[in-house]
Amino acid sequence: KDIPFEFNGMHCCKAHGGLELPVLPGGAAPFGNFPDYSRFHPPEGRVRLLPAALLSELFPNPRAGPLLGLDVGCNSGELSIALYRHLIGLQESKVSLEHSMAGKDLNLLCCDIDAGLIERAKQRSPFPGSISYAALDIMDSSVREALLGCYLSKFGRSTFDICFCMSVTMWIHLNHGDSGLVKLLSYLASKCIYLLIEPQPWKCYRAAARRLRKLGRHDFDHFRSLTISGNMAEKITQILTEDGAMELVCCFGSTSWDRSMLLFKSKAAHTSTLDCFEISRGVEKSVVAFYL
Ligand SMILES: C[S@@+](CC[C@H](N)C(=O)[O-])C[C@H]1O[C@@H](n2cnc3c(N)ncnc32)[C@H](O)[C@@H]1O
């Protein structure tokens, strides 16, 4: 159903793509909408792999407005907040930008298909002025256009500077098949300059299907027929780069639970690729490999 949509008190448009999703017994969640996801995969395990000066390296030139980020599949917002703090150089104990090291002004729009998780994220957010939340099924193209377009237009922009898609691709792939995964990636590629993506490895697909099967559900039985399979980081890299839309700039290591974070850049953007080589030089262990 449609509800009035607001960003930071500003009435914007009517858009609502999120759902009230039930939690299944044993913590199974067909959309990856786990209520306590950050307890199992703590944000620190990801953000510590990212250079603190990442935004300054990617966007060295001063801007009139803030940098704009989109976090797709933000769950209840713990990783979004950790990313925000890390990228603007704000220590854990601080809630103001006074002592920010990076000096970058960043505004985030965080969305999730689960309206209940978004409500929790809103209630807990320490940065309501800079981080907005919206219930949105990112695969719903009409609602997505209305909502993201509305947010961007508030800043006179048509694309985001950076998109985060962290541990979300498997859920889109399982629920929307090969074509859904390709559509999501090509949409994100068209909507940002940089895309940071943390794909789930194939073994997680098996585990997700098994969890639901144990509950007598067969939602993901079709996962064996997916033709995009195997090394998912490599497959996602191929999809994003093969039509020339994006290039892989670096791989920020791997988390203790075996997921890598891949940074892509839109080829339509004008920022120099050399920027990313600079990033890797300034970081000790964060950048362990250039991928492919
Ligand atoms: C495993 S959690 C990852 C949460 C967070 N990004 C992180 O890495 O900590 C995956 C999230 O993607 C969301 N999600 C799944 N399908 C989605 C869709 N079609 N549109 C928006 N969010 C979706 C789920 O509700 C869930 O919160």
Q: Give the contacts of 285 (CB within 8 A, at least 6 positions apart).
A: 253
Q: Say yes or no: CB of residue 19 within 6 Å of ligand 1.
A: no
How many A from CA of 282 to the centre of ligand 1? 31
Nearest CA owner, ligand 1 atom 17: 113
> Which ligand 1 atom sits closest to the C-alpha of 76?
27
Nearest CA owner, ligand 1 atom 27: 75
What is the end-to-end Cα distance of the chain in Å, rounded? Answer: 44
How many A from CA of 34 to the centre of ligand 1? 9
How many A from CA of 28 to the centre of ligand 1? 14
Q: Residue 283's closest CA among 81, 43, 86, 22? A: 86
* Distance, CA of 205 to CA of 201 (rounded, Å): 7
Question: Rounded to 5 degrees, what are φ and ψ at 261?
Answer: -115, 120
How many A from CA of 225 to the centre of ligand 1? 23
How many A from CA of 168 to the centre of ligand 1? 5
How many A from CA of 277 to the centre of ligand 1? 30
Q: Do the beta carbons of residue 176 and residue 222 sit within 8 Å?
A: no
Kindly report the number of other CB atoms within 10 A of residue 126's CB atom.
14
How many A from CA of 148 to the centre of ligand 1? 17
Q: Say yes or no: CB of residue 169 within 6 Å of ligand 1.
A: no
How many A from CA of 174 to the centre of ligand 1? 12
- What is the best residue among 113, 119, 181, 198 to mutate for testing ligand 1's pocket, by most ligand atoms within 8 Å of CB? 113
* Distance, CA of 214 to CA of 49 (rounded, Å): 35
pLDDT tens for the 292 residues of the chain, in order: 444 455 555 445 444 456 667 666 666 788 999 988 898 889 999 999 999 999 999 999 888 899 999 999 999 999 999 999 999 998 776 665 544 445 579 999 999 999 999 999 999 999 999 999 999 999 999 999 999 999 999 999 999 999 999 999 999 999 999 999 999 999 999 999 999 999 999 999 999 999 888 888 888 888 889 999 999 999 999 999 998 899 999 999 877 777 899 999 999 875 444 444 444 444 333 333 333 2
Q: Say yes or no: CB of residue 170 within 6 Å of ligand 1.
A: no
- Reduced to 3 states (helix: H, G, I; strand: E, B; else coil), residue 25 is helix
CA within 13 Å, CB half, 23: 11
Q: Say yes or no: CB of residue 114 within 6 Å of ligand 1.
A: yes
* Distance, CA of 106 to CA of 93 (rounded, Å): 18
Q: Say yes or no: CB of residue 117 within 6 Å of ligand 1.
A: yes
Nearest CA owner, ligand 1 atom 16: 31
Question: 6: which strand partners?
Answer: 11
